[in-house]
């Protein structure tokens, strides 16, 4: 059923006329008749005037809104958007608890035909080899949680090859990145490559592998072959190592802000596309100026003035007249900024928290960004996002940051910084951010302004 057909069905069930709907929505009757037939579309303002003005049930409203945006974006794209919406609300840096792992396992030399033997062999490999090359699939949650247990407990060096299929939908490749976040958060960085389906398998029988220095395992999810022959393992490891050399690293952990800056500038151009940042804690990059940078730069910083100048010129790309940059953040994140003054974009070895006067100035600039439709606050009754992960889309690329949300003065990239130049993945996230705004999963401009004004007033009162 189309949006127009469903809307007409709801009206008929309530005995409401098109004239009444025209009055509620602001759309003329002629347009509404075309909407019923699927020949014209309502604006989002007209849609939400209907949603708020007609006594539909919550379930009917949900269906009506979903049909509207499914037609607006297309069914495939809307399915991707809803998938991202469900994932971004999870704690991506955590894993479903694994059952207690007994590391005192023995490998099964030869053919494996029982799933428990497969898991036990992986445990044995991870426990004894401690330096593993693998291409295991995240779709097997038991294997994923088992391997992650070793990584999280600092008991394993893991090199994981992510195969992005050139024939798969972008959301499938994006899913691999989502699943890798928890590993990057724990200082284990995968590598990736783009290959067609035929290249993805070393053999059709056992397409997945774990290769250590003393043992190897090839398997297909249920069955496998465990190999202990030293020469065979050495040859397999040499072959997989050659494959890894053809891959691109995904993510780094570094406090070298100039390295991050150069990587960023090499890959992205902020002036040529719609750009979004979505985070629990607000970024100050849109509002940063020379005075703010000088106020937070540490006094004992080597080459302080040089770094301040570099930062000032860099952040102009975010808040210049040509920069089309929008940020989606949370009420609680703004409260945290007002309280701590933490400048999350830069490591605290370079900056100190902003003083109260600078925080007030920054909040006033954020107020201007709300007015200019550049800053949006999530309606947390509609959607919550994970604290600890930042997503940013810029010029055909996707950047992800991981930070320690338990710290008061954290930095976005202190856990990891990862970027991937993939226009299709970036476009999914861009559509998702656009959907959050268009579907009113962000609060109204009036509410956001009132909230920020309240924070400013409270801080100014405390300063007297």
Rounded to the nearest 5 percent, the helix, strand and coil shares of the chain are 50, 15, 35
pLDDT attached to residue 218: 92
For residue 397, pLDDT over 90 is answered with: no
Asked if the structure places residue 100 within a domain, the reply is no
Paired residues of 218 in beta bridges: 209, 225
For residue 147, pLDDT over 60 is answered with: yes
Residue after which a domain boundary falls, among 13, 45, 73: 73
The CATH number of the domain holding residue 129 is 3.30.870.10
HSE of 367 in the Cβ direction (CA atoms, 13 Å)?
15
Is 18 in contact with 28 (CB distance < 8 Å)? no
Say yes or no: 38 and 140 in one domain: no
Say yes or no: 50 and 193 in one domain: no
What are the tens digits of pLDDT across the range 97-142?
555 666 565 556 667 767 788 888 899 999 989 899 999 999 899 8
Give the orientation angle of helix 170-185 with respect to helix 141-152, to 10 degrees.
30
Average pLDDT, the chain: 87
All residues at 6 or more sequence positions from 358 whose CB lies less than 8 Å from its CB, including other chains:
291, 292, 295, 296, 341
Percent of the chain residues topping a pLDDT of 70: 88
How many angstroms from the chain centroid is the CA of residue 71? 25
Asked if the structure places residue 214 within a domain, the reply is yes
Backbone angles phi and psi of 163, in degrees to 5: -95, 105
Residue after which a domain boundary falls, among 249, 278, 307: 249
Residue 36 neighbours by CB distance under 10 Å? 20
pLDDT attached to residue 323: 62
Asked if the structure places residue 88 within a domain, the reply is no
Asked if the structure places residue 86 within a domain, the reply is no
Say yes or no: 244 and 262 in one domain: no
Say yes or no: 175 and 221 in one domain: yes
Say yes or no: 179 and 306 in one domain: no
Asked if the structure places residue 448 within a domain, the reply is yes
Say yes or no: 332 and 437 in one domain: yes
For residue 321, pLDDT over 60 is answered with: no
Extract the tokens encoding 419: 């970027």
Domain extent, residue 189, equals 110-249
Range in 103-107, 370-374, 426-430 with the lowest mean pLDDT: 103-107
Position 165 confidence tier, pLDDT thresholds 50, 70, 90: confident
Is 329 in contact with 399 (CB distance < 8 Å)? no
Say yes or no: 281 and 320 in one domain: yes
Position 243 confidence tier, pLDDT thresholds 50, 70, 90: very high
Which phi-psi region, left, alpha or beta, contains residue 383 (left: φ > 0; alpha: ψ -120 to 50)? Answer: beta
**Which position has the higher pLDDT, 352 or 348?**
352
Q: How far apart, in whole angstroms, are the C-alpha atoms of residue 364 and residue 357? A: 11
Position 196 confidence tier, pLDDT thresholds 50, 70, 90: confident
pLDDT attached to residue 247: 94
Say yes or no: 136 and 181 in one domain: yes
Position 263 confidence tier, pLDDT thresholds 50, 70, 90: low
pLDDT attached to residue 317: 66
Say yes or no: 341 and 367 in one domain: yes
All residues at 6 or more sequence positions from 411 whose CB lies less than 8 Å from its CB, including other chains:
344, 345, 346, 347, 348, 403
Buried b (16+ CB within 10 A) or exposed e, 420-429: bebeebbbbb
Three-state SS for 371? helix
Range in 101-105, 165-169, 313-317 with the lowest mean pLDDT: 101-105
Angle at 382 between CA 96 and CA 139, to 5 degrees: 25
List Cα–Cα distances, 328 to 84, 156, 289, 435, in angstroms.
15, 36, 20, 12
Mean of the pLDDT values across residues 168-193? 92
pLDDT attached to residue 270: 47
Query: DSSP labels for 226-281?
Result: EE--HHHHHHHHHHHHHHHHTSEE--B----HHHHHHHHHHH--TTSS-EEEE-SS
pLDDT attached to residue 313: 78
Residue after which a domain boundary falls, among 73, 99, 128: 73
Mean of the pLDDT values across residues 287-310? 86
Domain count, the chain: 3
Owner of token pair 């439709």: 373
Paired residues of 400 in beta bridges: 391, 418
Say yes or no: 419 and 339 in one domain: yes
pLDDT attached to residue 285: 84
Range in 152-161, 177-186, 303-312 with the lowest mean pLDDT: 303-312
Asked if the structure places residue 85 within a domain, the reply is no
Q: How far apart, in whole angstroms, are the C-alpha atoms of residue 336 and residue 320? A: 26
pTM of the model: 0.89
The CATH number of the domain holding residue 27 is 1.10.260.40
Say yes or no: 369 and 396 in one domain: yes
Owner of token pair 């395992």: 217
For residue 197, pLDDT over 80 is answered with: no
Residue 160 neighbours by CB distance under 10 Å? 23
**Which position has the higher pLDDT, 320 or 72?**
72
Is 253 in contact with 417 (CB distance < 8 Å)? yes
Extract the tokens encoding 77: 């794209």
DSSP assigned state of 14: H
Mean of the pLDDT values across residues 373-384? 91
Asked if the structure places residue 91 within a domain, the reply is no
Say yes or no: 445 and 317 in one domain: yes
pLDDT attached to residue 104: 60
Q: How far apart, in whole angstroms, are the C-alpha atoms of residue 46 and residue 80? A: 25
pLDDT attached to residue 47: 96
């Amino acid at each position: 059923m189309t949006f127009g057909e469903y809307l007409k069905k709801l009206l008929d069930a309530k005995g409401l006329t098109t004239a009444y709907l025209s009055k509620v929505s602001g759309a003329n009757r002629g347009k509404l008749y075309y909407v019923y037939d699927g020949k014209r579309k309502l604006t989002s303002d007209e849609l939400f005037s209907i949603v708020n003005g007609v006594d539909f049930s919550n379930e009917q409203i949900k269906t009506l809104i979903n049909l509207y945006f499914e037609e607006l974006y297309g069914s495939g794209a809307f399915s991707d958007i809803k998938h991202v919406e469900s994932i971004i609300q999870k704690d991506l840096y955590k894993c479903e608890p694994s059952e207690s792992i007994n590391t005192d396992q023995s490998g099964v030399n030869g053919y494996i035909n029982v799933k428990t033997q497969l898991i036990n062999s992986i445990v044995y490999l991870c426990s004894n080899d401690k330096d593993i090359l693998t291409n295991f699939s995240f779709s097997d949650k038991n294997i994923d949680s088992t391997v992650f247990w070793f990584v999280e407990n600092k008991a394993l060096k893991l090199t994981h090859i992510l195969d992005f299929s050139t024939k798969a939908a972008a959301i499938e490749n994006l899913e691999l990145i989502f699943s890798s976040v928890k590993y990057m958060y724990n200082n284990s960085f995968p590598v990736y490559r783009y290959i067609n389906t035929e290249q993805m398998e070393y053999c059709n029988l056992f397409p997945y592998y774990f290769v250590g220095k003393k043992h190897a395992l090839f398997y297909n999810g249920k069955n496998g072959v465990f190999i202990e022959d030293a020469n065979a393992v050495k040859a397999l490891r040499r072959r997989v190592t050659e494959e890894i050399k053809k891959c691109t690293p995904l993510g780094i952990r570094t406090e070298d802000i100039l390295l991050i800056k150069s990587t960023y500038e090499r890959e992205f151009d902020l002036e040529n596309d719609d750009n979004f940042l979505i985070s629990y804690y607000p970024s100050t990059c849109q509002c940063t100026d020379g005075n703010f940078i000088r106020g937070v730069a540490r006094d004992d910083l080597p080459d302080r003035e040089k770094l301040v100048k570099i930062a000032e010129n860099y952040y102009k790309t975010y808040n210049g007249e040509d920069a089309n940059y929008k940020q989606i953040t949370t009420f609680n994140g703004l409260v945290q900024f007002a309280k701590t003054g933490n400048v999350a974009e830069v490591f605290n070895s370079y900056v100190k928290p902003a003083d109260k006067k600078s925080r007030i100035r920054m909040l006033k600039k954020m107020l201007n960004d709300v007015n200019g439709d550049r800053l949006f606050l999530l309606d947390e009754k509609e959607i919550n996002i994970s604290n600890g992960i930042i997503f940013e889309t810029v010029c055909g690329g996707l950047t992800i940051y991981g930070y320690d949300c338990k710290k008061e003065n954290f930095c976005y990239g202190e856990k990891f910084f990862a970027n991937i130049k993939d226009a299709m993945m970036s476009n999914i996230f861009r559509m998702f951010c656009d959907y959050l705004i268009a579907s009113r999963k962000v609060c109204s401009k009036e509410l956001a302004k009132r909230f920020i004004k309240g924070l400013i007033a409270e801080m100014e009162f405390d300063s007297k």
